[in-house]
Each structure stands twice: as structure tokens, then as C-alpha cells.
């Protein structure tokens, strides 16, 4: 068991089994307009194959019941931000807490999260709202491609075909591409964000 207040609170509110992260950014267009956006990944396998969905996944045994560790490894595997690092003895990957805080903690020092209860009551998933301020999907996609082409890398790093920013206002991609299908989970979580009225900085 970890000693994080947030993990305790999540458990108290019924969260278990996995996490999802809304990786949010305020996108600035060349004409000066801005748009609140979320980073979605094009899933290669499973029930959401060929759909754009949130960074999310089940808790690993090595997460030891810690939702923050769960978030750190999913962010690292699926969005390629460096929330994990090699341990000093070079034997295993471990959470880089400073980097994780940078993405998950907001200016007041707190995490933003809520629990999503699925309609069949099977899943009670904490949804972390992360700030991906200034992140470029072009740069992240370079790493996505590197990982997908790296034969020596574990398959958990190869579950996403591409990353893209989608508007929180209507769920459409900001690059204007057509025929993007979102997972029903991503659609629901984007709708929730409107209700939460999260304000973004910068
Ligand atoms: Zn924890």
C-alpha cells in the first residue's frame, strides 16, 4: 500500500482496478484563437481497435494498489511523456515522481480527478485531469513511431498507432481530419469535461 492521500481518497470513493487520464492542453492557433483540447491515442488492438481513446489502463501488480503508479506507467507507455525512469541500479523502470507531478498536479498543488462509474456498475475508474501545456503531438508521434518500430521493446509500448489533439468543445480533431471515430468512453469523458468546467492556464 502506498501513502498517497489521493490514492486513499480514490479508494474511499470506490475507485479500483485501473485509471484513465484526460491529457489536456490549451491549443493556440496561428490566428491567436485558443481551444481546450485533449490528447487521444489511436488504439491498435482490443475492443477499441481503430478508435481514438483516452490514455487508460488496468492496474499492474507492480503498481501495488497505487493509482499514481498506475497513471505513471500508462502515461509513459501511451503518451510517451517521461513519467518513468530507469532505477539507479539499472534493473527496473520506476516512477519519476517529479515529472508525474508536473503533469498531474495543478497550480494549487492538488490533483484533479473524479470517479467514473460505468452504467453497468462494473467499472469505477478514477479519471485524472493532466495538464499537457505546450506539448506537441508532432514530437510525441516521432516517439510513437520509434517505439512501434523497435523490435526489442515490450508490446505494452506499442498499443497506440498515433496521437492527436481533439477539441473538448465538440470532440473533433483540431487538424481537421475527417472520419475519426472516438471510443464511446472518450466521448463520455469529453462530455463530462464540459460539466466539470475545468479552466485551463496559459
Ligand atoms: Zn499511491
H/E stretch holding 69 reads helix 67-79
Give the Å distance between the CA of 4 and the centre of ligand 1: 5
User: Which residue range is the domain that position 102 belongs to?
Assistant: 5-196
Task: Give me the tens of pLDDT residue by residue for the chain, a chain 202 residues long.
Answer: 899 999 999 999 999 889 999 999 999 888 999 999 999 999 999 999 999 999 999 999 999 999 999 999 999 999 999 999 999 999 999 999 999 999 999 989 999 999 999 888 888 999 999 999 989 999 999 999 999 999 999 999 999 999 999 999 999 999 999 999 999 999 999 998 887 766 665 4
Q: Which residues surround ligand 1, an ion (CB under 5 A)?
A: 2, 4, 7, 66, 68
Q: How far is CA 52 from the centre of its chain?
A: 12
Task: Give how far Cα 69 sits from Cα of 18, 136, 180, Å.
Answer: 10, 24, 31
Residue 40 is part of a domain; what is its CATH number?
3.90.79.10
Output the pTM of the full model.
Answer: 0.94
Give the Å distance between the CA of 22 and the centre of ligand 1: 18
Give the Å distance between the CA of 191 and the centre of ligand 1: 27
* Structural domain count, the chain: 1
CA dist 184 and 141 (Å) reads: 23
Give the Å distance between the CA of 163 and the centre of ligand 1: 27
- In a domain? residue 115: yes
H/E stretch holding 188 reads helix 184-196
Amino acid at each position: 500500500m502506498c501513502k498517497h492521500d489521493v490514492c486513499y481518497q480514490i479508494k474511499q470513493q470506490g475507485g479500483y482496478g485501473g485509471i484513465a487520464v484526460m491529457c489536456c492542453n490549451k491549443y493556440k492557433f496561428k490566428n491567436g484563437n485558443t481551444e481546450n483540447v485533449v490528447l487521444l491515442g489511436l488504439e491498435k488492438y482490443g475492443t477499441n481497435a481503430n478508435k481514438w481513446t483516452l490514455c487508460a489502463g488496468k492496474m499492474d501488480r507492480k503498481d501495488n494498489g497505487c493509482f499514481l503508479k498506475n497513471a505513471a506507467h500508462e502515461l509513459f507507455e501511451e503518451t510517451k511523456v517521461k513519467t518513468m525512469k530507469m532505477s539507479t541500479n539499472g534493473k527496473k523502470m520506476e516512477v519519476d515522481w517529479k515529472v508525474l507531478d508536473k503533469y498531474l498536479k495543478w497550480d494549487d498543488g492538488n490533483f484533479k480527478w473524479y470517479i467514473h462509474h460505468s452504467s453497468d456498475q462494473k467499472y469505477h475508474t478514477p479519471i485524472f485531469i493532466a495538464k499537457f501545456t505546450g506539448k506537441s503531438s508532432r514530437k510525441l508521434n516521432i516517439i510513437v513511431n520509434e517505439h512501434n518500430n523497435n523490435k526489442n521493446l515490450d508490446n505494452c509500448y506499442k498499443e497506440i498507432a498515433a496521437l492527436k489533439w481533439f477539441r473538448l468543445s465538440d470532440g473533433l480533431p483540431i487538424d481537421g481530419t475527417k472520419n475519426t471515430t472516438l471510443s464511446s468512453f472518450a466521448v463520455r469523458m469529453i462530455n463530462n469535461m464540459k460539466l466539470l468546467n475545468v479552466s485551463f492556464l496559459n
